[in-house]
Amino acid sequence: MSYVPLKITFRMETPVALGFPWISFDGLVLHVLLRESLGEKYYYLPTKTPIEYIIKKLDVPMIHDPPLKKWRDLYVASVSIINGQPFVFHYFKRGDFRFPSGKIRRGSGFFKDFYLKITYVPVREVVFYATGDPRELARILGKVKALGKDRNIGFGFIKEARIEEVDYEAGLVWNNKCMRPIPVEYLKEYEDAAYLAYRPPYWDKRNIKLCGVPFTKCVLK
Protein backbone atom coordinates (compact mmCIF):
# COMPACT_ATOMS: atom_id res chain seq x y z
CA MET A 1 0.00 0.00 0.00
CA SER A 2 1.31 3.43 -0.85
CA TYR A 3 0.49 6.15 1.58
CA VAL A 4 0.11 9.77 0.49
CA PRO A 5 -0.92 12.87 2.43
CA LEU A 6 -4.60 13.55 1.90
CA LYS A 7 -7.21 16.16 2.59
CA ILE A 8 -10.66 14.69 3.08
CA THR A 9 -13.56 17.08 2.75
CA PHE A 10 -17.12 16.09 3.57
CA ARG A 11 -19.71 18.41 2.07
CA MET A 12 -22.65 18.35 4.45
CA GLU A 13 -26.33 18.25 3.70
CA THR A 14 -27.52 18.77 7.28
CA PRO A 15 -25.87 20.17 10.44
CA VAL A 16 -23.49 17.95 12.38
CA ALA A 17 -24.51 16.96 15.92
CA LEU A 18 -21.55 16.43 18.23
CA GLY A 19 -20.92 14.62 21.48
CA PHE A 20 -17.38 15.98 21.77
CA PRO A 21 -15.65 19.02 20.24
CA TRP A 22 -14.21 16.88 17.46
CA ILE A 23 -14.62 13.65 15.48
CA SER A 24 -11.58 11.42 14.91
CA PHE A 25 -10.92 10.28 11.37
CA ASP A 26 -9.19 7.02 12.34
CA GLY A 27 -12.16 6.21 14.60
CA LEU A 28 -14.50 6.70 11.66
CA VAL A 29 -12.45 4.46 9.35
CA LEU A 30 -12.09 1.72 11.95
CA HIS A 31 -15.80 1.87 12.73
CA VAL A 32 -16.61 1.13 9.08
CA LEU A 33 -14.03 -1.68 8.98
CA LEU A 34 -15.42 -3.25 12.15
CA ARG A 35 -18.93 -3.10 10.70
CA GLU A 36 -17.64 -4.73 7.51
CA SER A 37 -15.88 -7.48 9.44
CA LEU A 38 -18.73 -8.30 11.79
CA GLY A 39 -21.55 -7.93 9.28
CA GLU A 40 -24.95 -8.37 10.89
CA LYS A 41 -23.29 -9.38 14.16
CA TYR A 42 -22.22 -5.76 14.63
CA TYR A 43 -25.76 -4.87 15.64
CA TYR A 44 -26.08 -7.27 18.56
CA LEU A 45 -22.75 -6.91 20.29
CA PRO A 46 -22.67 -7.86 23.95
CA THR A 47 -22.04 -4.92 26.21
CA LYS A 48 -19.37 -4.53 28.92
CA THR A 49 -17.01 -6.86 27.08
CA PRO A 50 -13.60 -5.90 25.72
CA ILE A 51 -13.68 -5.45 21.94
CA GLU A 52 -10.82 -7.93 21.37
CA TYR A 53 -12.78 -10.61 23.21
CA ILE A 54 -15.91 -9.93 21.15
CA ILE A 55 -14.01 -10.34 17.88
CA LYS A 56 -12.42 -13.56 19.15
CA LYS A 57 -15.64 -15.00 20.52
CA LEU A 58 -17.77 -14.19 17.49
CA ASP A 59 -15.18 -15.95 15.32
CA VAL A 60 -14.98 -13.29 12.62
CA PRO A 61 -11.89 -12.43 10.59
CA MET A 62 -9.75 -9.86 12.39
CA ILE A 63 -10.17 -6.35 11.16
CA HIS A 64 -7.46 -5.77 8.61
CA ASP A 65 -5.20 -2.80 9.15
CA PRO A 66 -6.84 0.45 8.16
CA PRO A 67 -5.32 2.11 5.10
CA LEU A 68 -3.67 4.76 7.23
CA LYS A 69 -0.02 5.43 7.96
CA LYS A 70 1.07 4.65 11.50
CA TRP A 71 3.46 6.70 13.59
CA ARG A 72 4.37 4.88 16.83
CA ASP A 73 0.95 3.65 17.98
CA LEU A 74 -0.97 6.52 16.41
CA TYR A 75 -2.59 6.72 13.01
CA VAL A 76 -1.61 9.77 10.98
CA ALA A 77 -5.15 11.08 10.84
CA SER A 78 -6.42 14.36 12.20
CA VAL A 79 -9.54 15.20 14.11
CA SER A 80 -12.33 17.09 12.38
CA ILE A 81 -11.86 20.72 11.46
CA ILE A 82 -15.23 22.34 11.94
CA ASN A 83 -15.57 26.08 11.68
CA GLY A 84 -18.84 27.05 13.23
CA GLN A 85 -20.72 28.22 16.26
CA PRO A 86 -22.47 25.45 18.23
CA PHE A 87 -26.21 25.57 18.90
CA VAL A 88 -28.48 23.37 20.98
CA PHE A 89 -31.35 21.34 19.60
CA HIS A 90 -34.04 20.31 22.10
CA TYR A 91 -36.27 17.37 21.32
CA PHE A 92 -38.45 14.68 22.83
CA LYS A 93 -37.54 11.05 22.38
CA ARG A 94 -40.16 8.33 22.63
CA GLY A 95 -39.35 4.93 24.00
CA ASP A 96 -38.65 2.30 21.35
CA PHE A 97 -40.64 -0.42 23.14
CA ARG A 98 -44.04 -1.64 22.07
CA PHE A 99 -46.77 0.70 23.25
CA PRO A 100 -50.01 -0.83 24.58
CA SER A 101 -53.28 -0.11 22.88
CA GLY A 102 -55.54 2.48 24.47
CA LYS A 103 -54.70 5.72 26.17
CA ILE A 104 -51.29 6.21 27.74
CA ARG A 105 -49.70 9.17 29.48
CA ARG A 106 -46.63 10.45 27.67
CA GLY A 107 -46.02 13.36 30.02
CA SER A 108 -45.08 11.25 33.03
CA GLY A 109 -44.75 7.68 34.24
CA PHE A 110 -43.35 4.66 32.44
CA PHE A 111 -44.12 5.93 28.93
CA LYS A 112 -42.74 9.41 29.55
CA ASP A 113 -40.98 10.97 26.58
CA PHE A 114 -37.37 11.87 27.31
CA TYR A 115 -36.55 15.50 26.91
CA LEU A 116 -33.11 15.57 25.31
CA LYS A 117 -30.62 18.12 24.13
CA ILE A 118 -27.85 17.86 21.61
CA THR A 119 -25.24 20.30 20.37
CA TYR A 120 -25.11 20.82 16.63
CA VAL A 121 -22.99 22.92 14.33
CA PRO A 122 -24.49 24.12 11.05
CA VAL A 123 -21.55 23.80 8.66
CA ARG A 124 -21.15 23.26 4.93
CA GLU A 125 -17.89 21.31 5.23
CA VAL A 126 -16.06 19.07 7.65
CA VAL A 127 -12.38 18.62 6.86
CA PHE A 128 -9.93 15.92 7.93
CA TYR A 129 -6.26 15.39 7.10
CA ALA A 130 -4.70 11.96 6.93
CA THR A 131 -1.91 10.02 5.31
CA GLY A 132 -3.19 6.86 3.70
CA ASP A 133 -4.20 4.93 0.64
CA PRO A 134 -6.64 7.14 -1.32
CA ARG A 135 -8.27 4.32 -3.27
CA GLU A 136 -9.04 2.18 -0.22
CA LEU A 137 -10.14 5.22 1.78
CA ALA A 138 -12.51 6.23 -1.02
CA ARG A 139 -14.08 2.74 -0.86
CA ILE A 140 -14.45 2.95 2.92
CA LEU A 141 -15.79 6.51 2.96
CA GLY A 142 -18.36 5.54 0.36
CA LYS A 143 -20.03 3.59 3.15
CA VAL A 144 -20.20 6.59 5.48
CA LYS A 145 -23.59 8.20 4.97
CA ALA A 146 -23.57 10.57 7.92
CA LEU A 147 -21.20 12.05 10.52
CA GLY A 148 -21.51 12.72 14.24
CA LYS A 149 -24.30 11.94 16.68
CA ASP A 150 -28.05 11.56 16.23
CA ARG A 151 -27.82 10.58 12.59
CA ASN A 152 -31.13 8.74 12.97
CA ILE A 153 -33.01 12.03 13.36
CA GLY A 154 -31.35 13.64 10.37
CA PHE A 155 -28.13 15.18 11.65
CA GLY A 156 -24.83 15.02 9.80
CA PHE A 157 -25.96 13.75 6.39
CA ILE A 158 -23.15 13.81 3.84
CA LYS A 159 -23.70 15.19 0.37
CA GLU A 160 -20.27 14.33 -0.97
CA ALA A 161 -16.90 13.07 0.27
CA ARG A 162 -13.89 14.44 -1.59
CA ILE A 163 -10.38 13.05 -1.23
CA GLU A 164 -7.53 15.21 -2.53
CA GLU A 165 -3.82 14.57 -2.50
CA VAL A 166 -1.87 17.37 -0.86
CA ASP A 167 1.86 18.00 -0.66
CA TYR A 168 2.06 18.39 3.11
CA GLU A 169 1.35 15.92 5.90
CA ALA A 170 -1.15 17.37 8.38
CA GLY A 171 -2.47 14.26 10.11
CA LEU A 172 -0.37 14.62 13.25
CA VAL A 173 1.10 18.10 13.48
CA TRP A 174 0.56 21.02 11.12
CA ASN A 175 1.98 24.54 11.48
CA ASN A 176 3.33 23.51 14.91
CA LYS A 177 -0.17 22.60 16.08
CA CYS A 178 -1.42 19.18 17.18
CA MET A 179 -4.01 17.93 14.74
CA ARG A 180 -5.12 15.07 16.98
CA PRO A 181 -4.61 14.02 20.61
CA ILE A 182 -0.95 13.03 20.92
CA PRO A 183 0.39 11.58 24.20
CA VAL A 184 2.74 14.04 25.90
CA GLU A 185 5.48 11.38 26.03
CA TYR A 186 5.71 11.70 22.23
CA LEU A 187 6.03 15.47 22.44
CA LYS A 188 9.06 17.62 23.06
CA GLU A 189 7.00 20.71 23.83
CA TYR A 190 3.29 21.35 24.23
CA GLU A 191 1.09 24.30 25.04
CA ASP A 192 -1.89 22.52 26.58
CA ALA A 193 -2.57 18.98 27.81
CA ALA A 194 -5.64 17.04 28.90
CA TYR A 195 -6.59 13.43 29.60
CA LEU A 196 -7.97 12.23 26.27
CA ALA A 197 -8.42 8.98 24.40
CA TYR A 198 -5.62 9.02 21.84
CA ARG A 199 -6.32 5.97 19.66
CA PRO A 200 -9.36 3.96 18.63
CA PRO A 201 -11.61 2.76 20.13
CA TYR A 202 -12.03 6.20 21.66
CA TRP A 203 -14.67 5.03 24.14
CA ASP A 204 -12.19 2.64 25.77
CA LYS A 205 -10.78 4.08 28.99
CA ARG A 206 -7.58 2.04 28.55
CA ASN A 207 -6.72 4.41 25.70
CA ILE A 208 -6.83 7.53 27.85
CA LYS A 209 -3.54 9.30 28.39
CA LEU A 210 -2.32 12.80 29.08
CA CYS A 211 -2.29 14.25 25.56
CA GLY A 212 -1.48 17.40 23.71
CA VAL A 213 -4.84 19.02 22.92
CA PRO A 214 -5.79 19.32 19.22
CA PHE A 215 -5.25 22.77 17.67
CA THR A 216 -2.80 23.89 20.37
CA LYS A 217 0.94 24.31 19.83
CA CYS A 218 3.20 21.28 20.10
CA VAL A 219 6.50 19.86 18.82
CA LEU A 220 7.02 16.15 18.20
CA LYS A 221 10.01 14.37 19.76
Total length of the chain: 221
Stretch that binds other proteins, among 13-21, 58-66, 131-139, 159-167 (CB under 8 A): 13-21
Question: Could you say which of 81, 161, 170, 187 contacts other proteins (CB under 8 A)?
Answer: 81
Question: Could you say which of 4, 21, 32, 42 contacts other proteins (CB under 8 A)?
Answer: 21
Task: For residue 212, state whether it binds other proteins (rule: CB under 8 A).
Answer: no
From residue 158, give the alpha-carbon distance in Å to each of 45, 168, 185, 190.
Answer: 26, 26, 36, 34
Based on CB atoms, which residue is closest to other proteins, 140 or 218? 218
Residue type, 31: H
Q: What secondary structure letter does DSSP report for 98?
A: P
37-40 contact pairs (CB < 8 A, 24+): 37/61, 37/62, 37/63
Site string for other proteins, 92-121 (x = CB under 8 A): ----------------------xxxxxx-x
Based on CB atoms, which residue is closest to other proteins, 75 or 129? 129
Assess whether the previous peptide bond of 201 is cis (omega < 30° from 0).
yes
Give the binding site for other proteins (CB under 8 A).
18-22, 81-84, 86-88, 90, 114-119, 121, 149, 194-197, 205, 208, 210, 214-215
